[in-house]
């Protein structure tokens, strides 16, 4: 049996392993997807482990999506443009980085908001935020404001993309049609917290949280109370995971089976 592991922390909220393993069973693929709690300091050793014969690659999540680039042999053009990787594929002994977050995010929001000409506010400037900002601007967003508790990250992201501006507070939220939480605040140890003052939100806005467990973070609960259209990161996880499977196996992912597994998890099955 070949292996894939997810490198990141925290992982207790992740549904990825059940979703991915259900897909491999449906596909009759002899693959196993597992979790490896791993921060930046532990990343080099775990990347070495992925180079072993029993692995075909790995997935990468917070806080490693940018740091992992240092250990890869090649980058897909979109991955290089974004500046972060969530998917590593072994090909002929080389580790090649891809980013499936961008297209997964866009597929998830496309039914809910027309990005063209809109202004967005993104809280967080890590790997997933870079993917989100990149695809929003590529698909015609007018402007994206970005903030982060570490302003060096926000400034770096803004410097990488035209029409992206780093700001130190969330005041610009009031000027935006879309508000995105890609900070991780609201999940894990920060459940019940929101990075946005609800007074800055209004009913005309679309609010997205990359988190999906809990299904409604405090940010989304506040937005819903304001009358905003809201969406969590579950569909993003589904679509980006399907793209990952196709990269790792070269076969079309069983999206319907993956969605059913996510529904079963959410219903407690």
Spatial contact of 62 and 8, defined as CB atoms under 8 Å apart:
yes
Among the listed residues 72, 3, 17, the one whose alpha carbon sits nearest the alpha carbon of residue 265: 17
Q: Distance of CA 48 to CAs 58, 68, 72, Å?
A: 11, 12, 11
The two counts, helices (H) then strands (E), for the chain are: 9, 12
Catalytic residue among 2, 3, 25, 65: 65
Interior angle at CA 107, CA 269 and CA 57, nearest 5: 70
162-166: which pairs have CB atoms within 8 A and are 24 or more residues apart? 162/137, 163/137, 164/133, 164/137, 166/125
**DSSP H stretches of helix in the chain:** 16-27, 43-50, 77-82, 101-109, 127-138, 151-160, 218-225, 234-249, 255-266
Q: Residue 147: beta bridge partners?
A: 123
Known catalytic residue: 65? yes
Interior angle at CA 62, CA 266 and CA 25, nearest 5: 45
**What token pair was written down for 167?**
């700001």
What is the rounded CA–CA span in Å between residue 188 and residue 146? 22
Q: Rg for the chain (alpha carbons), in Å?
A: 18
Q: Which residues have a catalytic role annotated?
A: 65
């Amino acid at each position: 049996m070949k292996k894939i592991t997810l490198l990141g922390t925290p992982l207790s909220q992740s549904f990825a392993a059940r979703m991915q393993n259900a897909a491999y069973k449906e596909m009759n693929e002899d693959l196993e997807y597992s979790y490896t709690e791993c921060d930046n300091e532990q990343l080099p050793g775990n990347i070495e482990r992925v180079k072993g014969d029993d692995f075909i690659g790995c997935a990468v999540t917070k806080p490693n999506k940018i740091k992992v680039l240092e250990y890869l042999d090649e980058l897909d053009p979109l991955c290089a443009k974004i500046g972060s990787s969530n998917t590593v594929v072994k090909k002929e002994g080389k580790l090649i980085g891809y980013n499936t977050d961008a297209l997964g995010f866009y597929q998830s929001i496309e039914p809910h908001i027309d990005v063209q000409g809109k202004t967005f506010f993104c809280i967080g400037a890590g790997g997933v935020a870079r993917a989100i900002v990149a695809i929003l601007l590529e698909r015609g967003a007018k402007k994206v404001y970005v903030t982060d508790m570490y302003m060096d990250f926000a400034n770096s992201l803004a410097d990488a993309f035209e029409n992206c501006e780093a700001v130190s507070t969330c005041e610009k939220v009031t000027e935006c049609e879309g508000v995105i939480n890609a900070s991780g605040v609201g999940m894990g140890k920060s459940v019940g917290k929101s990075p946005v003052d609800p007074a800055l939100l209004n009913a005309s806005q679309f609010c997205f949280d990359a988190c999906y467990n809990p299904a409604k973070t405090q940010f989304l609960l506040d937005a819903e109370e304001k009358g905003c259209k809201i969406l969590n990161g579950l569909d993003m996880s589904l679509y980006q995971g399907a793209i990952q499977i196709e990269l790792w196996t070269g076969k079309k992912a069983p999206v319907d089976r993956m969605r059913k597994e996510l529904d079963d998890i959410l219903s407690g099955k």
